[in-house]
Amino acid sequence: MTTNEFERLERDLEEALAAPVPGLRFSASRAAAKNRNPRRWMIGAAAGAVALVAAVIVLPNLSSGGATQVSAEELISRSNSAAEALRSGGVAYHLRGITEAKGGTTVLETWSLGEGGSRSENVYQANGATEVFGFAMNRDGYWIYRTASGVTRVAHVADQKDDRLRIAEPGDLDSAIRKYTIPNCMSATLAGEATVAGRSGYVVDIKPTPETCTADPARPDSVKLAAVAKELGSTRLVIDKQTSVQLEVETFDGDGQLNSKFMVNLFETGTAVDAMATNYRPPAGAIVSEVDNYGDAKSVLVK
Amino acid sequence: MLRAFAIRGTVAASGPDDALVAAAQADPEAFAALYERYLPRVYRYLAAKASSPEDAADLTQAVFLKAFDSVGRFRPGKAPFTSWLFRIARNSAIDANRRRRPAVSLEADSPFDLPGEQLPEEEALRRERLQEIRAAVAKLKPNQRDLIALRYAGGLTINEIAPLIGKKPEAAKKQLQRTLRELKEHYGDDE
């Protein structure tokens, strides 16, 4: 086994065995009294599902398009063409939404000042335990933070070139659809219109297409994908007509069962946005680390 | 590369094990710092051996309660605190498995993910790869699985593992290398 193979195997083992750690709380007084009053510790839950709905997409105004005449591909094309103008102008918004998934609920709150900064925070609750995960972008760079079991860990990335740290930029509908779509194995179509939190939006269905997900022996990845093509889940998005923010995200497993549902219940734009919300600073007592990139940030936060 | 540049309010939790142990021996409340430091590693080790996350959580509770009760008897210098704590964890897992049919929980999924904007293609392949390696680990002998769990779920070093399995560090290292070679035979041939 070569050194590279050895290192790869070790990385895979670490990842495969990195079970999400529940928020078990320890109390010395409770521990000392265990014989008098044995009780189960509170168990939080993994924050794995939190990430799924954290991204919020800002897009150009698409209200001029009739929903039934516009394909998802056309939406992407139009959003991309107008993206540059929006980037320079910026879009300010504040939203709050909730995700219900197996094991718990997550409240997402996002503030975006366009180029001026943004912040997105998830508060995950399950079985009485709470875990907070968030990230903020401002003039000081990126702050990524997580509070679990009473401990807040913060990673700061000064370099803003890491694309994985972006949370909201105009023209990201393309990214949003790509996020849920596997080329050749899934397709996106415009399914109609819907109203969420008083906002009118387009409905985009992303579904697996096993018939086109063919295995190419020259590409091992395609062989693996073809093998699991029938098990791939689907996604339904509702995208705000005016701003192209995701208003609703439903994910389904391969059997069509609902895995999770995110729905916006508050949406504000313009002057209602609190500029201070993006001005994140680590709270007292936080363990703060300066890191070079997103990968290192992750290793800091999941200790 | 990580560079810690500020630690405020958690100085106790950042010290060496011996200092934390001494503090816990003097003040039961200080045991919380050891708990905070070792919870993820102990839980992941037990999760790799238990039949469900709930069982792993119960075992974790039992391990830390035992450690809390007996930390006063720990003597630095004989073996690392990590080895002492994981000996409790290992024995607890063995006892639990004696009480019921062991079912190694290597099918557990959904490790902690940050919003990494991972593409579904990458995610599907990653899940496939992790399923493969869990299946390969499940084919190993029990002592080999334990070695893998100690090293890669518990994050123990060879020097910490050696006293746990009753071997010298060099022998423990060779056993781990043999296990990895065997694991490699069942996994990742197309990589």
Q: Residue A230 falls within a domain, yes or no?
A: yes
Handedness of CA B122, B123, B129, B132 (dihedral sign): negative
The two tokens of residue A115 are: 């180029």
Which segment of A26-35, A134-143, B19-28 scores lowest on mean pLDDT?
A: A26-35
CATH for B175: 1.10.10.10
The two tokens of residue B27 are: 């003040």
CATH for B63: 1.10.1740.10
Interface membership of B110 toward A (CB under 8 Å): yes
Q: Residue A20 falls within a domain, yes or no?
A: no
Q: Residue A32 falls within a domain, yes or no?
A: no
Q: Residue B125 falls within a domain, yes or no?
A: yes
Q: Residue B5 falls within a domain, yes or no?
A: no
Q: What's the CA gap between B141 and A99, in Å, rounded?
A: 41
Q: Residue A30 falls within a domain, yes or no?
A: no
Q: Is B90 in the same domain as B140? A: no
Q: Is-contact A203 A191, C-beta < 8 A?
A: yes
Contact (CB<8Å) B65/A41:
no
Segments in chain A forming alpha helices (H): 3-16, 28-32, 72-89, 173-180, 220-228, 294-301
Q: Residue B93 falls within a domain, yes or no?
A: yes
Q: How many domains in chain B? A: 2
Q: Residue B1 falls within a domain, yes or no?
A: no
Contact (CB<8Å) B39/A185:
no
Q: Which residues span the domain enclosing B150?
A: 119-191
Residue pLDDT, tens place only, A52-74: 222 222 222 223 333 333 455 55
B window 77-106, beta carbon within 8 A of A: 105-106
Q: What is the ipTM of this complex?
A: 0.77
Q: How many domains in chain A? A: 1
Q: Is-contact B80 B160, C-beta < 8 A?
A: yes
- Name the minimum distance, in Å, from the CA of A164 to any CA of chain B: 5
Asked if the model's pLDDT at residue B114 lies above 80, the reply is no
* Distance set, CA B20 to CA A39, B13, B37, B109 (Å): 26, 7, 10, 33
- Name the minimum distance, in Å, from the CA of A241 to any CA of chain B: 23
Quick check: pTM over 0.80? Answer: no
Q: Residue A26 falls within a domain, yes or no?
A: no
Q: Is B128 in the same domain as B179? A: yes
Task: Count other Cβ atoms within 10 Å, centred on residue B132.
Answer: 18
Chain A residue with minimum CA distance to B137: A13
Q: Which residues span the domain enclosing A211?
A: 48-301
The two tokens of residue B137 are: 């680990």
Q: Which amino acid is at A190?
A: L
Q: Is B19 in the same domain as B86? A: yes
**DSSP of A256-301:** S-EEEEEEEEEEEEGGGS-GGGG---PPTT-EEEEESSHHHHHHHH
Q: Residue B112 falls within a domain, yes or no?
A: no
Q: Which residues of B touch A106 (CB under 8 A)?
A: none
Interface test with chain B among A12, A132, A154, by most B beta carbons within 10 Å: A12
Q: Residue B184 falls within a domain, yes or no?
A: yes
Residue from A175, A235, A177, A170 nearest A207 by CA: A235
Q: Residue A223 falls within a domain, yes or no?
A: yes
Which of these three, B51, B69, B100, is where a domain ends? B100
- Name the minimum distance, in Å, from the CA of A287 to any CA of chain B: 5
Contact (CB<8Å) A19/B6:
no
Q: What's the CA gap between A23 and B16, in Å, rounded?
A: 24
> Mean pLDDT over all residues of chain B?
77
Q: Residue B81 falls within a domain, yes or no?
A: yes
The two tokens of residue B84 are: 């002492």
Q: Is B57 in the same domain as B89? A: yes
Q: Is B95 in the same domain as B124? A: no
pLDDT cut 70: percent of chain A above it? 65
Question: What is the C-alpha R_g of chain A?
Answer: 21
Contact (CB<8Å) A12/B129:
yes
Q: Is B125 in the same domain as B180? A: yes
Which of these three, B69, B100, B131, is where a domain ends? B100
Contact (CB<8Å) B40/A46:
no
CATH for A290: 2.50.20.10
Q: Residue A271 falls within a domain, yes or no?
A: yes
Residue from A121, A168, A163, A119 nearest A140 by CA: A119
Give the per-residue pLDDT at A88. 43
Q: Residue A263 falls within a domain, yes or no?
A: yes
> Mean pLDDT over all residues of chain A?
70
Q: Find the helix or strand (DSSP H, E) in which A238 lies.
A: strand A234-240
Most confident among A14-23, A167-176, B154-163 (mean pLDDT): B154-163
Interface membership of B53 toward A (CB under 8 Å): yes
Hunting for tokens 């008098």 — which residue is that? A36
SS3 B111: coil
Asked if the model's pLDDT at residue A219 lies above 50, the reply is yes
Question: What is the C-alpha R_g of chain B?
Answer: 18
Q: What's the CA gap between A103 and A125, in Å, rounded?
A: 9
